[in-house]
Chain A
Amino acid sequence: DVKVTQSSRYLVKRTGEKVFLECVQDMDHENMFWYRQDPGLGLRLIYFSYDVKMKEKGDIPEGYSVSREKKERFSLILESASTNQTSMYLCASSFAHKTNEQFFGPGTRLTVL
């Protein structure tokens, strides 16, 4: 079974803090994704990585950065958390090529106070 794990299910941070969300997959997938899920807005892509150290911006990259130093691990970084970044964050991974399904992690619900 493919497993995508995320470091925390729930996280509470203060405005201005630096926040790291970690994602690990065990299927040797080339692609990894970070999405943000908000009620009524669906899943919105923040960043996408197609290889180690390679990344592409998604639809809402502002306020976020990413790091992929190893193939199995993809980190989302909030340099200075703000209250409007309170959300559910989902990580996903897939083999390369657009016909391959994405496997999602369980999500991290981040609250910024």
Chain B
Amino acid sequence: QQPVQSPQAVILREGEDAVINCSSSKALYSVHWYRQKHGEAPVFLMILLKGGEQKGHEKISASFNEKKQQSSLYLTASQLSYSGTYFCGTGSSYNTDKLIFGTGTRLQVFP
């Protein structure tokens, strides 16, 4: 039931791009993206909603394909500060604010 994230891990050099995917087996209403740095709490990045609305981070972009029940997070010109574990959280019901989080994608950016 947890959404599947891919890849599980990514290693980049500064300035390179990465795409993290999140795929659900259920119809989605919303997809949330969070980043967790080592030893810290997860921090909100972005929300994508059914119908195309987005709220969130200015320097990170994402897409949401409602038909395929998938979302992708695009990290362009990566910086050292992008390192961490990225989680997608999916909301699939109109009647609850609960999210189901994926297993995470670990991103490491090196100089």
> Which residues of A pack against B, CB within 8 Å?
4, 31, 33, 35, 40-45, 48, 50, 56, 58-59, 90, 94, 96-107
Q: From B8, which residue of chain A is reached at the shortest CB distance?
A: A40
Report whether B100 and A59 are in contact in the complex, using a CB–CB cutoff of 8 Å: yes
Of B11-19, B35-43, B58-66, B74-82, the one contacting chain A is B35-43
Report whether B97 and A40 are in contact in the complex, using a CB–CB cutoff of 8 Å: no
Report whether A106 and B41 are in contact in the complex, using a CB–CB cutoff of 8 Å: yes
Taking CB atoms and an 8 Å cut-off, the chain B residues in 81-111 that contact chain A are 87, 89, 91, 96-104
Q: What are 21 A-B contacts defined by CB distance under 8 Å?
A: A4-B41, A33-B98, A40-B103, A41-B103, A42-B5, A42-B87, A42-B104, A43-B89, A45-B100, A45-B101, A50-B97, A58-B98, A98-B30, A98-B96, A99-B47, A99-B55, A101-B32, A101-B44, A102-B89, A103-B44, A105-B41
List 4 additional contacts besides A44-B101, A102-B89; criterion CB under 8 Å.
A43-B89, A43-B101, A44-B2, A102-B32
Number of interface residues of B (CB under 8 A): 27
Measured CB to CB, the closest approach of chain B to A80, in angstroms, equals: 26
A100 to B104: give the CA distance in the assembly, Å: 20
Find A102's partner among B2, B44, B100 (CB 8 Å cutoff): B44
Q: List chain A residues, Cβ under 8 A from B99.
A: 45, 98, 102
Query: If A90-B42, A104-B42, A105-B41 touch, does A45 touch B47 (CB 8 Å cutoff)?
Result: no
Q: List chain A residues, Cβ under 8 A from B43.
A: 104
Report whether A104 and B41 are in contact in the complex, using a CB–CB cutoff of 8 Å: yes
> Which residues of B pack against A, CB within 8 Å?
1-2, 5, 29-30, 32, 34, 40-44, 47, 49, 55, 87, 89, 91, 96-104
Report whether A48 and B98 are in contact in the complex, using a CB–CB cutoff of 8 Å: yes
A64 to B102: give the CA distance in the assembly, Å: 22
Measured CB to CB, the closest approach of chain B to A55, in angstroms, equals: 11
Measured CB to CB, the closest approach of chain A to B10, in angstroms, equals: 16
Q: List chain A residues, Cβ under 8 A from B29.
A: 98
9 tightest Cβ-Cβ pairs between the two chains A and B: A101-B44, A104-B41, A43-B101, A42-B103, A98-B91, A98-B97, A42-B104, A104-B42, A42-B101
